[in-house]
Amino acid sequence: MLDTLTSGTNEPEQARRVYYRIVYAILGIAIIGLLAGLVTGHELLGTIIYCGGAWIGSGITFLAPKLTDVPLQDERDTELYNRASGLTLGVLFVLGLSVIPAIYVLEAAGRIDPPPEVTGAILLASGLFLLWGVAYGIVKRR
Amino acid sequence: MENDLPRRREAAGLSQGELAEAVGVTRQTINAIERDRYDPSLELAFKLAAYFECHIEDIFEPGENNDST
């Protein structure tokens, strides 16, 4: 597909640019669709747009490098993704360590009554770290 | 890690994009290596050395690493 789109120029740089524009455009449409659905009360439609965009974007991200000889991503991109992921987890970890125990203590003392959203966020963060731990264990043994 | 990739590339009359295509990476990666903002993997270092028909240590040498990409 990318080869066809860039056949006029046959430039790897152009193919890479087209690839990123397509992926980011699809993901952007998906997110905007979801938010628009939530705001306008069409949650189901927004969710369908989001899921469709997420799946199509992920599919292109997975398939495109296999369908073209152009290096759409390379080792530096991988390192950048890894470092960004590590930074994100680090920030979440520091925030979690500093906030979650305080919330539990204050809740146990009857000083606060956390809304369900906070409880959900804590469970989500806990699940994320659990998943990271499992993934780390798998990667370490491979 | 320091390198003399720009000198070797220019001596060969190559653009960053042409060298990137030759070793199978993006132009941005070659640019980052030349600016000492990214240390290539051993695999890429071998490819670059093979392309310029020299040893890895002829292109790269240990130096101050700013550890950024």
Give the Cα separation of B18 and A13 in Å (integer). 10
Q: What is the pLDDT of residues A106-136, one digit of tens each?
A: 989 999 888 998 889 888 888 988 999 999 9
**Going residue by residue through chain B (69 aa), what tens digit of pLDDT does each one get?**
889 999 999 999 999 999 999 999 999 999 999 999 999 999 999 999 999 999 999 999 887 655 555
Q: What is the pLDDT of residue A6?
A: 47
Domain count of chain B? 1
Does residue B62 lie within any of the structural domains? no
> Position B4: which residue type?
D
Asked if the C-beta of B15 comes within 8 angstroms of chain A's C-beta atoms, the answer is: no
Interface size, chain A vs chain B, as Cβ–Cβ contacts under 8 Å:
37
- CATH assignment at residue B20: 1.10.260.40
| 3-class secondary structure, B3 | strand
Domain boundaries, chain A: 1-73, 75-142
Give the Cα separation of A32 and A13 in Å (integer). 28
Kindly determine whether residue B40 and residue A75, on different chains, have CB atoms separated by under 8 Å: yes
pTM for this model (two decimals): 0.72
Which residue range is the domain that position B45 belongs to?
A: 2-57
The minimal CB distance from A16 to the residues B26, B32, B44 is found for B26
Does residue B35 lie within any of the structural domains? yes
Name every residue whose Cβ is closer than 8 Å to that of residue A32 and which is 6 or more positions away in sequence.
Answer: none
